[in-house]
């Protein structure tokens, strides 16, 4: 399947070590963990990369990215290499707009239960699928 670059908006708190790294480099990797990493993700959020090596401290594996300098996390289901395209809202809202330039997704499981942080120590899970393929017809 061919990859089409797309835009993604992301809030990175100015209190985070990552904030200045992204501002200076203009790039990042957004890693998408599954629920198997829930406790690790929560612990990572309570530490600073300025003080510890998070990969070493939490037993994660850094993989080189193809188009950006930031690493992928091997244990995550998906990783999106991103380049900053618009920083107009950074000063006021800590809101970055990135172009996804390369996507990496594990083949299995096909429909993983992924983890999404909503704030204040709370996560949302995704992964349940509902198929209605029989109701769709191919166009073209």
Q: How far, in Å, are 2, 135, 137 from residue 140 at the CA level?
A: 19, 16, 10
What does the block give as tokens for 140?
A: 């073209």
pTM of the prediction? 0.85
The predicted pLDDT at position 133 comes to: 84
CATH number for the domain including 54?
2.30.110.10
How does pLDDT run across 56-99, given as a tens digit for each residue?
999 999 999 999 999 999 999 999 999 999 999 999 999 999 99
Computed over every residue of the chain, the mean pLDDT equals 92
Query: Is residue 105 one of the residues assigned to a domain?
Result: yes
Give the span between the Cα atoms of 54 and 44, in whole angstroms: 7
Total domains in the fold of the chain: 1
For residue 140, tell me if it sits in a domain. Answer: no
SS3 call for 118? strand
> Do 116 and 123 touch, CB atoms closer than 8 A?
yes
Rounded CA-CA distance 54/61 in Å is 10
CA distance 115 to 123: 6
Q: Domain residues for 96? A: 6-135
pLDDT at residue 2 above 70?
Answer: no
Q: Distance between CA atoms of 117 and 122, rounded to whole angstroms?
A: 6
- The answer to whether residue 1 sits within a structural domain is no
């Amino acid at each position: 399947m061919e990859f089409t670059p797309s835009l993604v908006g992301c809030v990175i708190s100015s209190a985070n070590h990552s904030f200045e790294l992204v501002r200076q480099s203009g790039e990042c990797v957004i890693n998408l963990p599954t629920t198997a990493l829930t406790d690790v993700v929560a612990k990572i959020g309570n530490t600073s990369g300025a003080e510890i090596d998070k990969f070493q401290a939490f037993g994660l594996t850094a993989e080189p990215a193809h188009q950006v300098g930031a690493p992928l996390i091997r244990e995550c289901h998906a990783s999106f290499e991103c380049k900053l395209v618009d920083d107009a809202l950074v000063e006021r809202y800590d809101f970055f707009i990135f172009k996804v330039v390369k996507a990496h997704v594990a083949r299995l499981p096909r429909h993983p239960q992924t983890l999404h942080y909503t704030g204040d120590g709370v996560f949302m899970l995704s992964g349940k699928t509902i198929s209605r393929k029989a109701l769709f017809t191919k166009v073209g």
